[in-house]
Amino acid sequence: RDRAILSLYYGCGLRNREGQRIELTHLHYQQDLLQVLPGKTYQGRYVPMSPSVKATLQAYQDYSRPYLTNQKSCNKLIISTTGSPMRGNSMRERIKKLVSQAQITKTICLHSLRHSIATHLLQSGMPLEQISRFLGHKQLDSTQIYTRLVEELDHA
């Protein structure tokens, strides 16, 4: 489950609420796509799943998730140990625990995983317009913050 959480938030660049809302039916393994539903302040979109993200989510769904369901019927992808949908606070606490276990001293949260993938995509040469669509930004201005982050990293 931990790998599935990291894959969703880093590998797919999801916002906190977007990850919470992912249901089993939103995983389109045949097309290597994840469907992200529209929310109050953002548009829905399809996000490509890399082979490693796809493998991680599929393994979680097929092998780990069934042990957590406890015979409960839950359509959300990420569930707690009680079989209920995992909420934002639980995911935030889980990330904190993983960061602590990895002995990472930098402050890392769900949203910083989103920032990281955007920065890494930009550093690898992906056009800003594609990154903007990947992140679900309505305005290119929202994505341009990552160009400043990359420039700062390059000068550091």
Query: Residue 115: CA atoms inside 13 Å, Cβ hemisphere, count?
Result: 12
| Chain centroid offset of residue 107 CA | 17
Residue where the block lists tokens 């539903």: 37
Catalytically annotated residue among 40, 106, 148, 155: 40
Q: Is residue 15 annotated as part of the catalytic site, yes or no?
A: yes
H-state helical runs in the chain: 2-6, 16-21, 51-59, 65-68, 88-101, 110-123, 128-135, 140-155
Instruction: Determine whether 17 is an active site residue.
Output: no
Active-site residue identified among 72, 96, 111, 138: 111
User: Is 40 in the active site?
Assistant: yes
28 belongs to the catalytic site: no
- Catalytic site residue from 9, 15, 26, 65: 15
Catalytic residue numbers, as ranges? 15, 40, 111, 114, 137, 146
